Homo-oligomer: A and B are copies of this chain.
């Protein structure tokens, strides 16, 4: 995919400058680097990772990149005094790329401006969507295994929540207990959404105070060892309410109708349109109609090393591929009523899909 991209743009190298907190960088170098480093991949298959001297040995051992260059091997520290850190970095990277006869390079959209500007003096540069985001969107079997582990923990976390909510109604305390449960299972859940009442109308509000008549429970645990996420939501009914029940019915139907059409080759927007079709058929407004209340976000997003990654399940014509993992999460949000959302995590297959978060769509805890 990267070679095709380089060929298409007639470029010699694709380069990144980031720490391993950037999942694309982490995926490319396959090691943890807490501070930013430089990675380049050439059209002839050359891959270079430039790190600080203190990371050299570790990089030689841990990274899948074979050619490790230490900044101190290439005169970086001598340059710093004269040029300052940023310019010295840029000049050092430029020299390395020129040694490999680079003339034109590609950088990702998020490439930092200071390097973009400096390297522009040496090379023709084109800005592209990071090809590693696309590469990462199709999961390898060991990645799917990790996401399945995370999904299993998400489902168990909801079961655990359904037990403890019978006795505990304080949201902060519920969240603390649920996240500790997840941690003990080897994953990490942060900002778990437990929202209730009218404020659940804010899709990203994490929730506070006392549980009211219904709860959006949205958890996205990450396996701590591997860094792979799941993402899963159910709306839990604590006390019956007709308006909420109707909204929930529409969301469940929208989710399940959308899941039915998922398979390799379908376009992302077909999934999104199906969700909008169903919700609109119930009389709710959607983002497709530019609504400010109702269904106001996209249908879903990829999940992997990030909770939000490629592919976007919205209005694009991108064709789904076998091995993609993403959410389908219709929600309805009205300031005067509150919000409702159901979310499953889906693995695309050749002739259909697999739901990685199998759980009843209707969940009640009526005391």
User: Is A358 engaged at the interface, CB distance under 8 Å to the other chain?
Assistant: no
Q: How far apart are the CA atoms of A333 and B53 in the complex, in Å? A: 12
Q: What mask results when residues 114 to 129 of chain A are scored 1 for a CB within 8 Å of chain B, else 0?
A: 1011000000000100
For A184, the chain B residues whose CB sits under 8 A away are 180
Q: A224: nearest residue on chain B (CB-CB)? A: B190
Within 8 A of B (CB), among A104-142: 107-114, 116-117, 127
Q: Do A308 and B112 form a contact, CB below 8 Å, given A180-B184, A204-B58?
A: no
Q: How far apart are the CA atoms of A3 and B295 in the complex, in Å? A: 41
User: Is A188 engaged at the interface, CB distance under 8 Å to the other chain?
Assistant: yes
Q: What mask results when residues 38 to 56 of chain A are scored 1 for a CB within 8 Å of chain B, else 0?
A: 0000000000000011110
Q: How far apart are the CA atoms of A180 and B204 in the complex, in Å? A: 27
Q: Do A307 and B34 form a contact, CB below 8 Å, given A77-B290, A335-B57?
A: yes
Copy tally for this chain in the complex stands at 2
Q: How far apart are the CA atoms of A271 and B88 in the complex, in Å? A: 24
* Distance of A321 from chain B, by nearest CB (Å): 21
Q: How far apart are the CA atoms of A308 and B33 in the complex, in Å? A: 12
* Distance of A237 from chain B, by nearest CB (Å): 23
Q: How far apart are the CA atoms of A108 and B117 in the complex, in Å? A: 12
Q: A119: nearest residue on chain B (CB-CB)? A: B113
Q: A86: nearest residue on chain B (CB-CB)? A: B109
Q: How far apart are the CA atoms of A184 and B181 in the complex, in Å? A: 11
For A188, the chain B residues whose CB sits under 8 A away are 188
For A292, the chain B residues whose CB sits under 8 A away are 53, 72
* A-B contact sample (5 more), CB < 8 A, given A54-B333, A113-B113, A180-B183: A54-B203, A107-B113, A110-B112, A180-B184, A188-B188
A interface vs B, CB < 8 Å?
21, 32-35, 52-55, 57-58, 72, 77, 86, 107-114, 116-117, 127, 180, 183-184, 188, 190-191, 201-206, 224, 290, 292, 296-297, 307-308, 333, 335
